Structure formats: structure tokens, C-alpha cells
Amino acid sequence: MTDPSDGAPEVIDLVWYVNAIGEDVNYARSTEAEARQLVEDFIGKDNPYKVPESIVERAVLEVGADLYYRKASRNGVVQMEGVEPQLFRLNRDPMAAAYPLLRRYLVMGL
């Protein structure tokens, strides 16, 4: 998925994506498993619509990151580190970032 020469791993996992270190590594792995289950449940068993694997993996990363950052949030509001930290509200539905990625490949109801 990525070029190894840019410092990113060949296969992007949630631990790398959210820059989890120390005790947070296990938490990131568990949230990645939860995200994968949510995405696979939404797509359907055995990917009947043939959503490309790269899109599925991106959806898992986005959902997983949303789930991961909930740990740092209080009442759905999180403050990210940086020069000038800004508050932002997390989605209540962790799949919100995945829907636009997956929508074009899935048959939607009327």
C-alpha cells in the first residue's frame, strides 16, 4: 500500500497509523480488530460486492482510528497534541468515515 522508502510500513496497520506506543499498542490492536469486524459486517460476509481490498483496509484504518481516539476523549470531545491543540468532537458512529469510502461499491436501498 505504501512505498517503504518514505518510512511507512508496507502494510499499514492501526498501530503505525495512530502512532501508538507502549501500553497503547495492545489497545490499538484490539480496536483494529473491532474496526475490521464492523467494516466486514457492513460489507457482508465474504465481501459479496467485491469491494477492493485497498478500500476495505482504508475503511478499517479510519474506523479503527476513530475507535482508538475515543480513549482520549471525554464526552466525545478530544484534544490532539500539537503546537496549537484544538478541540474537536468525535463521531458517535465510528463507521461514519467508512461510509463514503464503501458507498460506491455497495448496492444501496431505495
Domain ranges across the chain? 4-103
Distance CA 7, CA 67 (A): 25
Is the Cα dihedral 42, 47, 49, 51 positive or negative? Answer: positive
pLDDT tens per residue across span 52-99: 999 999 999 999 998 998 876 665 555 556 556 555 556 678 899 999
Distances (CA, A) of 61 to 31, 65, 80, 84, 90: 10, 6, 18, 25, 15
Q: In this predicted structure, which of 4-13, 43-52, 57-66, 100-109 has the lowest mean pLDDT?
A: 4-13
What's the pLDDT at 32?
96
Q: What is the DSSP letter of 109?
A: P
Over residues 33-48, mean pLDDT: 94
Q: Are 19 and 69 in contact (CB under 8 A)?
A: no
Q: How would residue 12 be classed by pLDDT, with cut points 50, 70 and 90?
A: confident
- In this model, does residue 16 exceed pLDDT 60? yes
Distance CA 86, CA 45 (A): 39
Query: What residue spans of the chain are helical by DSSP H?
Result: 14-17, 24-43, 53-69, 98-103
